[in-house]
Amino acid sequence: MQETQGQNLAVVKNPEIEAVLETLERELVGLRPVKQRIREIAAYLSVDKLRRELGLTADRPTLHMAFVGPPGTGKTTVALRMATILHKLGYIRRDHLVVASRDDLVGQYIGHTAPKTKEVLKRAMGGVLFIDEAYSLYRAENERDYGQETIEILLQVMENQREDLVVILAGYKDRMEEFFALNPGMRSRIAHHIEFPPYSAEELFQIGKLMLEKQGYRFTEEAEKAFLEYLERRMRLPNFAYARSVRNALDRFKLRQAYRLYQKAGPVTPEELMTITADDIYASSVFREEEKEEEDAP
């Protein structure tokens, strides 16, 4: 403390971190609250690093996180960028993300779970372990379930090896809340809880256009209207996963476009090879399914 008195200190923005944050800004449409939280965490860690270099604190901050929200809202993408930020600031040894689910961690018989869990942890060491649908690790209704063994191993590693591994738990908000209520030891080890809001139809429209452009495709003006109508209808149907569902829909649009050109045969222009038409979209079963629902309504 005495040595720092009278020194001129400055907090300088790290250009590498700023570049990562700008990449995240470009990659993800919307998600204002999420992007702000990531900027705040990056700023906090940058200042913490300076404080520790000056001997103002010796304790390493807890970095384990929880990302909660619907599927397809960018949680894995943000986890990837967070791994890069943590690596560039020196909080983890490797810019490395391992994505795991219950199937990767929990065994099916006695003696199977611990080796599986430890193998995943070994692969993730030095970086970030991202556990999707983390609430599925705990199944209170099944007394013979082995997920609790995985949770106990994770708790030990998150506490005792937190300088060599950052764990990010992800899943639906309500189910993650139940998971933490049933596993208070896990909640106490999580420093940052970040909520990912659902995308609006307009945001998904922009996401879809960006995805297509990256793949060398484009919508006609009529197709843009059809795509927005598709999204509004699809969002009302079950099992909608936001950006993930948009990506799957675009693949089907491209499939129909290719089949249309193949059936037509003959000369084709580069413009035709790049263009998705309204017919490629209106052929989707989403429109027929909603029509059927309307017919069946009382």
Is the domain of 27 the same as that of 48? yes
pLDDT for 289: 61
The residue among 292 and 95 whose pLDDT is bigger is 95
Mean pLDDT across the stretch 244-271?
A: 94
| Together in a domain, 222 and 82 | no
Distance CA 218, CA 202 (A): 17
Q: Which of 52-66, 163-177, 225-239 has the lowest mean pLDDT?
A: 52-66
Q: pLDDT value at position 2?
A: 39
Give a yes or no: residue 279 inside a domain: yes
In DSSP notation, 61-111 reads PP--EEEES-TTSSHHHHHHHHHHHHHHTTSSSS--EEEE-HHHH--SSTT
Of 160, 177, 195, the residue that ends a domain is 195
Q: Looking at the 3D structure of the chain, how many domains does it have?
A: 2
Same domain, 122 and 168: yes
Average pLDDT along the chain: 89
What CATH number did the domain enclosing 67 receive? Answer: 3.40.50.300
Cα–Cα distance measured from residue 226 to residue 275, given in angstroms and rounded to the nearest whole number = 14
Confidence (pTM): 0.85
Percent of the chain with pLDDT over 90: 73
Query: In percent, how much of the chain has pLDDT > 70?
Result: 92
Most confident of 54-58, 107-111, 222-226: 222-226
216: containing domain:
201-292
- Look at residues 165, 195, 225 and tell me which one is the last residue of a structural domain: 195
Supply the pLDDT for residue 125. 97
pLDDT band for position 108 (cuts 50, 70, 90): confident
Asked if 213 and 182 sit in the same domain, the reply is: no
Domain boundary among 161, 195, 229: 195
